[in-house]
Structure formats: C-alpha cells, structure tokens
Amino acid sequence: MSAEPQQLLAPDGTLHGDLPLPLGEISRLYRAMVVARVFDGKCSAMQRQGRLATYAPYEGQEAAQIGAASALEASDWLVASYRDAAAMALRGYPWSNLILGRTGDERGGHAPEGVRVLPPSITVGGHMIHAVGIAWAERLKGTDAVALTMFGDGATSEGDFHEAMNFAAVFATPTVFFCQNNGWAISLPTSRQTAAETIADKAVGYGMTGLVVDGNDVLAVHEAVRRAVSTARAGEGPTLIEALTYRIGPHTTTDDPGRYRDPAEVESWRERDPLRRVRRFLETQGAWDEDAQAAAEHDAGLEAEAAVAAAEMVAALDGDEIFSAMYAVPTIHLEEQRARLRRDGR
Amino acid sequence: MADLTVARALTDALDIALADPAVVLLGEDVGATGGVFRVSDGLREAHGPDRVIDTPVAESGIVGAAFGMAVAGMRPIAEIQFMGFSYPALDQVINHVGRVRNRSRHRFTAPLVIRIPYGAGIGAAEHHSESAEAIYTHIPGLKVVVPSTPHDAKGLLLAAVADDDPVIFLEPIRLYRAVRAEVPEGPFTVPIGAARLVVGGEDVTVVAYGAMVREAEAAAAELAASGTSVEVIDLRSLVPWDVEAVVESVRRTGRAVIVHEAPRTTGFGAEIVATIQEHALYSLRAPIERVTGWDTVVPLRRAEHHYVPTRAAIAAAVVRAMEG
C-alpha cells in the first residue's frame, strides 16, 4: 500500500508543486535550521569538553523537526523526546533550558509559562500517550488545541506505541503522531524494528490515516503536518506521519556508529542534507545568498554562546532543593530527610 | 447522614467530584456496567459518556492518557480493575506520573488519582487478590492512601481528587460491601497523612490499614474481655504516613504489632518497625511483632485462608508482645 514519500523540494533544491509557504516564511524556517545545526554542533563539542552529560545529536533531522514544529499554533502542545531540541526550540522552549537540562539540571525541564512543550521524554515510547491525554483534555475543555508527539522508529516497537495509537483513534483525539524514522535505533536498523514495509502502514490497523513524507524536505514535512494538524483541529481524528530521515551522528555521544553501520550509508545521506536543498531553493528564488548565510551562521553562533552562558551561569541545585519539587508541598518524610542531609551531608 | 457501604460511599464521592468539569473518570468497564465492583454505578448516566469513559483494555494507556489530561490541567480519576492488572501501567507511574513535577520543577504537574481495588479475602481469581502497596509506596512523587471505612473512603477520595499531586487510591476489595456506616452527605475531605484512632488502649499499639483494620479491631475487642487494653491505629495513608500518631502511641504502650496482608519481606510494616525504633526504642518493652501475609503468591480460593492474617493471628501476636 505504500506510496513514494511526499516531497516538495528535491535534494537539488527544485520545487515540485505549489509553494506551500511565502518565501519569507521559508527563509525563517531555513534560518531556524541553521540555528539548530549550530546548536547541535555546539552541544556535541561541549559534551566532548565534559560540559554536558550524554548528548543525543540530531544532525540530519533538522527539516523533520522544524517542518513539523512550524505547523503548530501557539496553543498547540509538543510532546517530544530527547533528540528533538530543534523542534522544541522552535516552539519557544529556550535553548538555554535545553542546554541546562543537558548539563544535568532538572531546571532545564521548566519551560516558560505559556510554552506548551513538555520536558523531553528520556524513556522511549512512554510519552506518546501523553499527547493523546493532553489532546483529549483540550477537547473536553472545549478548546481547539492539538497535541503533536515526536518519536523515533525504535519507539514504534514499544507496546506504548500501540496503546497510544489505539486510544487516539478510538477517541478521535486531536493528536498528531510524528515519527522521525532516522534509520537507526542505536545500533539496530529499522528493518529490525518492524517487518512492515513502512511505519506509516501501521496506521491502517488502528483505523487511522498514515503517510510517508521525505523527512529531509522541510516544505513537505510542514505541509503534511499542517494538514494533519488541521484534520485533528477539525475533530476528524489523529494522523500518523512517518518522516524518512537519517541520523548523521551517533545515537548519543557515548556510542560509535562505526561498529554497526557503513560509513558509505552516512555519506549517501549527507548528499541529501536537509539544509542544503532549502538554501539552494531560496538562492534560485533570489531570497538567499552568501551574505545571508554568513549572517545567519554568525547570529546563530552568538545565540548559542548566549544560551550556553545563561545555562552555565546557573548554580547547581543545593541539597535542600532536591527535595522541593517532589510534591506541591514536601511531605513530613521529605522534610525529615532534608534535615538529615543538611545535618549529616552524604 | 446516609447509611452507606464503602462501595456506595465511593460512588457518592465520585459523583460529587464529577460535578467539577475538570474531573473525569476513565477505565475499563467503568461506564455501562459501573465498574467490576459497581463503584461507578449510575455515574455515566449522570455525567455523560465523555466524563465517565469506558476505555480499551490497556492499563498503561489508561494511566498514560490520564497523565496527559492532568498535565493539561484536568483532574482525571483512572480506575484499574484489580491490583494485579496495574503492573502494565508501572512505567507510566514511575517514569512519568511520579516524576513530572520534579523534572519540570513545578512547571507541569500530574494531579490524578489512580483507583486500584486490592487485597485478598474474597476467594477471587488469580491476580485478583494482591496487596502490592509497597511497590507504590517505594515510588517517589506519589501519595498512597487506603481507606477502611465508608466515611474515610468518601473523605479520602475527595481529598485525593483535590490534591495537587498524584494519589494511588487503594480500595480494599473485601470491605466494599462488608460494612455500612453513617457518612455525611455532601462534600468533605479526610486529610491525607493523618491516621485514625480506632480504639484507644494502654497496653499494646496495633497499627493496621485497609481490610486489616477490622480484624485488628475485632482482636482488640476480644482481648479487652480478657483484660488487655489494645490501641488500634488505622494509618489511612501510607505516603505520607502519620509517624507522630504511631510513635506517640508506642511511647505510651511500649508495645507494637504491625498488621498487613501484603508479603512480609520489605512490606510496609518493615518501614513502620524501623521508624518506631528510631523514635521510641527506649519505650519498647517487647520486640515489635509483625502479622503479615507470607512471601508467597496469594493462594487461590481453597487455600487462601492460610494466607490472610486473621483476628486470631493478631490477638496471638498481641499476647506475644505482652509476654515479651
């Protein structure tokens, strides 16, 4: 049943079909992709310097994340995972929070009021159902807000994927399931996660619409998600979108992809770089040039430096504070333990 | 006042809670049939199928969806049919429900209630008689409550719904229809974390919760006839639990017997014993006794009586403590 992945921008930057967004908006998305790539590189470098805990790079997945996140409204929710910083940032989750979290600080998970983005899920797959519950609550409250959840190909092997898809379809919750099939779940290829031809095919079993999109094409992703969001908002139920993309880097800074995959495969995906095709397209439209690129990279660098500085300025939680966010008000037991730590230390 | 069973007191509490549009009840068979124990009888008719929601058979999905609703500002009440069926949802409970407040530093919270019928004593099918409260009390970020009377069932459930943190609400299966009592009409709450003095006494403190409270009370009545004055404390809340009430009592009596039907090893009783010795070691006149289930699977109907602590076993433990 699978069709060719939906595509608007070919890898060489040729546009097929109608322009889904004004050029200015496409430039904005491209600039966000540049920023995301600069941050990703910065975070990998910081991890090597021992300034971040384990880091999960998303290089190669910028189009998928920015394309999807850009199709949401401010009142919509994003429930994403640890590799989705580019999407979270676009929804207003500050880069300084994202970096703070990766330095090993719970306060990175505190999004500003009004930013409807949950802290990234670290366990695989358990968060998809949260986007079902959130969307369901919004409908019960009578709003038209939608929840989009992002997850990888590996997460679709979890039983929680099934329960989330099934609940969403049965109750027609305004949820969008956005799978970034990046080819690898740590060391295992997608073929070891599913025998289905595509992950999108799984939607059929739930009575849901499923579709495959070129995940390295920011315009196609944006368009596919925009439609799914609009369907959800109209009360017509959830959609599963499989964005075909590739994890250029390791799963996290702790593993060596050379042990499990062919470098030639990585190179072939570099040829399909998600940034390059947008840039080419914008250049052919006269909407981008070398100067714009240099300025975007320069600004992104400054933004990254500022976010890192803001994150690294935050003093570590003191002993008292580790007890202070377990409950609205600490229990007498926690108060007793807090006093013990204060008195005796560790 | 109304004369209610525990089950009807819970229905009453749910009905009151559902008056708030932020509250929904969701679970397997909670709507059309009113739940396997009929606790939600009539509520779907009263509040509509969008608020009393029959879900697919998926415990992790029920709790995970309820979590999402709670994060989005609602106060969902999830029902799991039996404690033995609650384990598929443990990932949600441990990794998300109990953690979101801390991992978002108060930005997102999960004020949901998970109702779980639990405990043995009615000869139910396999997996239908567990007392796994210690699994839940060991998970940071949760509150765990266990009513033993119609009054407390209603008051604690309304307190759980009003609480800004997630509450595991354990309903002793064998008490659903075993007792009737006067319960105030309309809304009221019983504070989470406060024990209840069941009977005052001077010689021995018996600490129990859930279905074991009635057994302890019966044992105390029997022993009173033979001249032993037994104080019975119903914990009502396990997290947080009322250390002060228990320690104050043991300081007076100098003897303690802890009762639960859950397995003995790392049961909640061990926590109580450890805490008593921290605070009242020099008041103790005898080793603390534990009357518990065994470290076995709960036997099926024909052999269940070998497992569940009885009033006779509690009385015997009190006698040992008195001799200690």
Q: What DSSP designation does A257 have? A: G
- Chosen for mutation from A161, A163, A334 (greatest number of chain B CBs closer than 10 Å) is A163
Chain segment B109-160, per-residue pLDDT in tens: 999 999 999 999 898 999 999 999 999 999 999 999 999 999 999 999 999 9
Copy the structure tokens of residue B18: 């559902």
Same domain for B80 and B205, yes or no, is: no
Q: pLDDT grade, residue A254 (50/70/90)?
A: confident
pLDDT band at A154 (very low <50, low <70, confident <90, very high): very high
B129 with B231, same domain: the answer is no
Considering only CB atoms, which chain B residues are within 8 Å of A111?
A: 104, 107
- Interface predicted TM-score (ipTM) of this complex, two decimals: 0.96
What pLDDT score does A268 carry?
96
Report long-range pairs for B40-48 (Cβ below 8 Å, ≥24 apart): B40/B11, B40/B14, B40/B79, B41/B11, B42/B11, B42/B15, B43/B11, B43/B14, B43/B15, B43/B18, B46/B15, B46/B18, B47/B15, B47/B18
> Is the residue at B190 inside a domain?
no
Give A168-191 pLDDT, tens digit per residue.
Answer: 999 999 999 999 999 999 999 999
Same domain, B151 and B216: no
Q: Is B39 exposed, middle or buried (0-12, 13-18, 19+ CB in 10 A)?
A: buried
Point out the residues of A that are catalytic: 247, 251, 260
Query: What is the C-alpha separation between B278 and B281, in angstroms, rounded?
Result: 6
Query: How far is Cα B38 from Cα B11, in angstroms, rounded to an integer?
Result: 8
One domain for residues B159 and B39 = yes
Please check whether residues B124 and B210 belong to one and the same domain.
Answer: no
- Rounded Cα gap, residues B23 and B288, in angstroms: 43
Q: Are residues B159 and B256 in the same domain?
A: no
Which regions of chain B are under pLDDT 50?
none
Pairwise CA distance, residues B194 & B197, whole Å: 10
Test the B interface: residue of A82, A88, A134 with most B CBs within 10 Å: A134
What pLDDT, on the 0 to 100 scale, is given for residue A2? 54
Cβ neighbours of residue B278 closer than 8 Å, sequence gap 6 or more = none
Per-residue pLDDT band at A253 (split at 50, 70, 90): confident
Domain boundary among B127, B158, B183: B183
| B228 and B157 fall within a common domain | no
* Same structural domain, B124 and B202: no
Same domain, B175 and B246: no
Coil, helix or strand at residue A94: coil
Q: Residue A181 belongs to what H/E stretch? A: strand A175-181
For residues B173 and B99, membership in a common domain is answered with yes
B128 a catalytic residue = yes
A133 and B67: CB-CB below 8 Å? yes
Q: Could you state, in order of their start, the residue ranges of all structural domains in chain A?
A: 23-315, 317-346
Task: Give the fold, CATH level 3, of A23-315.
Answer: Rossmann fold (3.40.50)
Residue B93: give its domain's CATH number. Answer: 3.40.50.970
Do residues B214 and B148 share a domain?
no
Chain B residues 233-262 with CB within 8 Å of chain A: 239-241, 243
Preferred mutation among B85, B95, B96, B103 to probe A, highest tally of A CBs within 10 A: B103
Per the prediction, chain B carries an average pLDDT of: 97
Assess B222–A contact: CB distance below 8 Å, yes or no. no
Residues B200 and B174 in one domain: no
Residue of B nearest to A169 (CA): B56
In order of A188, B154, B262, B300, B308, the CA distances from B297 in angstroms are 38, 31, 10, 9, 12
Give B51's contacts in chain A (Cβ within 8 Å). 140
Q: What proportions of chain A, in percent to the nearest 5, are helix, strand and coil?
A: 50, 10, 40
Domain that holds residue B211: 196-323
User: Going by DSSP bridges, is the β-strand pair A209-214/A188-189 parallel, antiparallel, or unpaired?
Assistant: unpaired
pLDDT (tens digit per residue) in A125-152: 999 999 999 999 999 999 999 999 999 9
Q: Do B74 and A119 lie within an 8 Å CB cutoff?
A: no
C-alpha span between B4 and B149 (Å, rounded): 10
Is A1 a residue whose pLDDT tops 70?
no
Per-residue pLDDT band for A55 (boundaries 50, 70, 90) equals: very high
Distance of alpha carbon B194 from the chain centroid: 13
Q: Name the residue in chain A with its Cα closest to that of B21.
A: A141
The domain tally of chain B equals: 2
